[in-house]
Amino acid sequence: MSGLFSLERHRALVTGANTGIGQAIAVALAGQGARVTCAGRRSCAETLAAIASACGQADEMLIDFADPLAARDIFADAGYSLLVNNAGIIRREDAVSHSEADWDAVIDTNLKAVFFTCQAFGRELIARKQEGAIVNIASLLSFQGGIRVPGYTASKHGIAGITKLLANEWAPHGITVNAIAPGYIATNNTEALRGDPERSRQILERIPAGRWGRPEDIGGTAAYLCSPAARYVTGTVLNVDGGWLAR
């Protein structure tokens, strides 16, 4: 495999790769030739099997990003040049009753862990004078307020900010840092919304594409941002939302 979109000779870490968007990203990167480590707090066996069936290369790492420093020691001399931070959680509750415990859990996993994982990755690449790419998973709630998800909204606004900050600092080292803001994607995180007929109808009426997104829609975008084709793309938050924010 060769060309602008090839990821051959790259090793990638994809967090939260056991299901949904993370799984689709891992499969997409492997499909372009990367050797992918599928990281998650639960087994990624299904993802590994999907990659193997397509003749790709993958391995597994059990890691829980509820500990924001969980990845601090995994990059040293490990050969990673690509990082996709997808692991995340959500807690739904009215703002007036959103607990400190839920706030801390969401911020720790969705924001603090992402920053310190990026820090460990970037530190290793800079020390080795190696170029690389980071893709963070943001959200439409990096731009909007949402309803009943205060911790999640704060964390995703934060992802947009640290993506731009790291892009500014690490561009001279040949490390691109971008984020993807998925729209309404059919995953476990949106199961409650899809199960509410009225809310689902309202959402679909606003999406110009007329459908819920699929995890594969995000996988292809991540593969692009990791590829040589996106070498001059950094500091961007790319909406993949079927036109939601343009409406």
HSE toward the beta carbon, residue 208, CA cutoff 13 A: 8
Nearest-angstrom CA–CA distance, 84 and 117: 10
> What is the rounded (10 degree) CA torsion for 238, 239, 245, 247?
110
Q: What angle do CA 245, 151, 168 make, to 5 degrees?
A: 65
Angle between helices 20-31 and 215-226 (to 10 degrees): 50
Residue 198, classified by CB atoms within 10 Å of its CB into exposed (0-12), middle (13-18) or buried (19+), is exposed
Alpha-carbon dihedral angle through residues 45, 47, 158, 79, given to the nearest 10 degrees: 90
**Joined tokens for residue 115:** 């920053």
Catalytic residue among 80, 152, 184, 224: 152
Q: Which long-range contacts (CB under 8 A, 24 or more apart) does 101-109 make?
A: 102/151, 103/150, 103/151, 105/66, 105/151, 106/151, 106/152, 106/154, 106/155, 107/151, 107/154, 107/155, 107/158, 108/65, 108/66, 108/67, 108/68, 109/65, 109/66, 109/68
Decide if 152 is catalytic.
Answer: yes
Provide the annotated active-site residues: 152
